[in-house]
Amino acid sequence: METSKIYLGNLEASDKFGDEILEGILNITDLEKVLEEWAYAAKKSGDKILRVKVVKRKTTNAFDQTHYVELDQFRYDSKKESTEEAEVTS
């Protein structure tokens, strides 16, 4: 099942550094909504984190933006891993 992409912002090559550095804008309103559903605690630190992808556009858009930021919708299944670990150790 394919899920629709959740876009969080747009990026473009830096005027000063070219494509070595991408600059852009993240939509904080959208980001806050996404955080409620998609953020999770990091295993080691417990910090609240969100997985994202920076994707190169096939063509530059009207604002010369060459990349966009998209939510990585992979869901880590901790229950499955716990079950697999239990089977390995038994």
> Is the CB of residue 8 less than 8 Å from the CB of residue 29?
no
- What is the domain partition of the chain in residue ranges? 7-89
Alpha carbons 51 and 63: distance in angstroms, whole number = 26
Alpha carbons 18 and 25: distance in angstroms, whole number = 17
Global pTM reads 0.69
The tens digit of pLDDT for each residue in 47-83 reads: 888 889 999 999 999 988 999 999 998 876 655 544 4
The tens digit of pLDDT for each residue in 9-48 reads: 999 999 898 888 999 999 899 888 898 888 888 888 888 8
> Is the CB of residue 70 less than 8 Å from the CB of residue 57?
no
